[in-house]
Amino acid sequence: MAIQGIGKVRAHQTQNEGLVFEKSSPGKRGYKLPPLDVPSVDASALLGEAHRENPALLPELSEIEIIRHFTRLSTWNYAIDLGMYPLGSCTMKYNPRVNEFVARIDGLADAHPYRPEELAQGILEVVDLLQRCLIEITGMDAITLQPAAGAHGEFTGILLVRAWHESRGNARKKILIPDSAHGTNPATAAICGYAVENLKSNADGGIDLEALERQVDEETAALMLTNPSTIGVFESQIHRIADILHAKGALLYMDGANMNALVGKARPGDFGVDVMHLNLHKTFSTPHGGGGPGSGPVACKAFLEPFLPTPVLVRRGSNASQASGELHWEYNRPQSVGRVRGFYGNVGMFIRALAYILANGPDGLRQTTEDAVLNANYIRKKLEDVFDLPYKTASMHEVVFSDKRQAALGVKTGDIAKRLIDYGFHPYTVSFPMIVHGAMMIEPTESESLEELDLFVEAMRSIAREVEETPEVVKSAPHSTRVSRLDEVAAARKPILRWKG
């Protein structure tokens, strides 16, 4: 299949695939076994009441049909293992295979969460060492690894804030959130029972200190701040922001999703942050999504420690700094906000993140951060003459352009993103952050080589030329996929979630 403007298309992309139910035909089996050489048993008699009267409505297919179905589907997803994934704010970095190797070591992979503590010391040491590494990296005093994602970490962190205020007699009423924030921040505040008050950004995309001073009062529980912000800018006034909040008895929560720009360079605990979350699946190279587990540890200052979710890992018969006594889970913590996740949390992710931290070491982690920032700034330099750059402040790990120049010719950020698919790249983040109209948010991460960055730059520059010469090609992209433009409104409003056989 020839694609307009592009010569090549991957052969597998021409293989369309129906639903597994549509391929079913009665009596087909996915296996062949030799005839029974033992007496057969009547399962319904054995199961009694538990035996279902009618067979479940499951598709019936041969083994090769099943294998092909799922193998084909697996090739439809774009993945970090296929090419650059410049989705801003999400830090889609490479997941090193050594992490996978370590996570599959029998003693770790098979460890049962109900194994008695005295027989689980190995895995508890892994948990403890990761906790200590993350405390060191963030400059905080205490941590919980329970939360299963960034948003879950935010929820846990704001529960700590609430519990601390309540312990002082007043939970307070509102949480301040900058207009550039990720949508999970206001959702978290609301679900924890707080009113959300919007904080307007200044001309550099940062916090307006005067506006902040006016808005913080005795009813403010906390400010939720992303640093570096969602436009990739480091909040250089962060110390003063913390002081303004603390003077009114309010706390500073940091959304640590962008820690890939800070690890080994600056520590939130040193610049006034009281509580924060990390996304192990962003900064620490554990896989994202695909239904797989994430991990959103919450680190806090000592005064919030009594409120951490139970259980908390402690060393028996020694103070915490001594790496000698046995580790055990402590449940008797009367001020705790309670458990937020079953068992240890997503322990497989802890192992991967720890493998990544130890493989890099302190200098390696710092280098990673520097490379991530360098890569983002390389893209900025190579594209700033063709795309509008609304905030000129120094970029950290990501760069946000706008579609202003292309929109004047009728082509929007979403069109350019869809055209990137034809060039073999995952789209960047579209229309976020909200403070940039027509945002194009690009985060290459340190994983990408100079060669891959140059391919991406060339693709973006080529699309910018197309916008001027053949805008209809961009506006109708993608052309290389099985389906092109979907009716996104109908897909959201009238989803078909059930197969009607």
Ligand X SMILES: *Cc1c(COP(=O)(O)O)cnc(C)c1O
**151 vs 464, which CB is nearer to ligand X?**
151
In the list 162, 174, 182, 418, the residue contacting ligand X (rule: CB under 6 A) is 182
| Residue span binding ligand X (CB under 6 A) among the ranges 145-153, 241-249, 441-449, 451-459 | 145-153
Q: Does 257 bind ligand X (CB under 6 A)?
A: yes
Q: Contact letters (x/-) for ligand X, 351-390, by CB under 6 A?
A: ----------------------------------------
Shortest reach from residue 373's CB to ligand X, in Å: 17
Q: Does residue 20 sit in helix, strand or coil?
A: helix
**Number of residue whose CB is nearest ligand X:** 150
Answer whether 411's CB lies under 8 Å from 419's CB: no
> Coil, helix or strand for 275?
strand
CA 381, CA 139: separation in Å to the nearest integer? 33
Residue 254 or residue 477: which is nearer to ligand X going by CB?
254
Count of residues that bind ligand X according to CB under 6 A: 14
Residue 272 or 433 with smaller CB distance to ligand X: 433
Which stretch in 148-156, 232-240, 355-363, 453-461 sits in contact with ligand X by CB under 6 A? Answer: 148-156
Is residue 255 a contact point for ligand X (CB under 6 A)? Answer: yes
Kindly tell me which of 398 and 448 has the beta carbon lying closer to ligand X: 398
- DSSP state letter for 177: E
CA distance 492 to 501: 23
Q: Is 477 in the site for ligand X (CB under 6 A)?
A: no
Q: Which two tokens stand for residue 426?
A: 């995952």
Rounded Cα distance between 217 and 214, Å, is 8
Q: What's the min distance (Å) between Cβ of 182 and ligand X?
A: 3
CA distance 174 to 475: 43
Nearest approach, Cβ of residue 486 and ligand X (Å): 23
Q: Which stretch binds ligand X (CB under 6 A): 144-152, 303-311, 350-358, 440-448?
A: 144-152
The alpha carbons of the chain give a radius of gyration, in whole angstroms, of 26
* Cβ atoms of 463 and 475 closer than 8 Å: no
- Cα–Cα distances in Å, from 205 out to 229, 239, 252, 400, 434? 8, 17, 18, 11, 11
Tokens found for residue 461: 């520059």
DSSP character at residue 41: -
Q: What is the DSSP letter of 35?
A: P
Query: Under the criterion CB under 6 A, does residue 150 sit at the interface with ligand X?
Result: yes
Return the exposure string of 198-236: e unless at least 16 CB atoms fall within 10 Å of the residue's CB, then b.
ebebeebbbbbeeebeebbeeebbbbbbbbbbbbbbbbe
d(CA 452, CA 379): 11
- Retrieve residue 355's tokens: 């493998």
Cα of first residue to Cα of last residue in the chain, in angstroms, is 33
Question: Residue 228 in contact with residue 261, Cβ under 8 Å?
Answer: yes
- The footprint of ligand X on residues 226-245 (CB under 6 A) is 226, 230
Q: Which one, 262 or 464, has the nearer CB to ligand X?
A: 262
Residue from 131, 138, 144, 279 in contact with ligand X (CB under 6 A) = 279
> Which CB atom, from 150 or from 345, has the smaller least distance to ligand X?
150
CA-CA distance, 468 to 463, in Å (whole number)? 9
Counting contacts by CB under 6 A, is residue 287 touching ligand X? no
Nearest to ligand X of 429, 480 (CB atom): 429
The residue among 252, 297, 299, 254 whose CA lies nearest residue 279 is 297
**Only segment of 143-151, 162-170, 319-327, 432-440 that touches ligand X (CB under 6 A):** 143-151
Cβ nearer to ligand X, comparing 186 with 364: 186
CB of 464 to ligand X, least distance (A): 27
Q: 120 or 137: whose CB is closer to ligand X?
A: 137
Site string (79-98) toward ligand X, x via CB under 6 A? ----------xx--------
Spatial CA neighbour of 188 closest among 213, 225, 217: 225
Amino acid residing at 125 = E
Nearest approach, Cβ of 411 to ligand X (angstroms)?
26
Q: Per rule CB under 6 A, is residue 296 in the interface with ligand X?
A: yes
Interface segment toward ligand X; rule CB under 6 A; list 45-53, 132-140, 149-157, 193-201: 149-157
According to the binding rule CB under 6 A, does residue 311 interact with ligand X?
no
Distance (Å, rounded) from C-alpha 375 to C-alpha 373?
5
Answer yes or no whether residue 426 interacts with ligand X by CB under 6 A: no
Q: Which of 130, 149, 160, 261 is the binder for ligand X (CB under 6 A)?
A: 149
Which residues of the shown chain bind ligand X in the complex (CB under 6 A)? Answer: 89-90, 149-151, 182, 184, 226, 230, 255, 257, 279, 294, 296
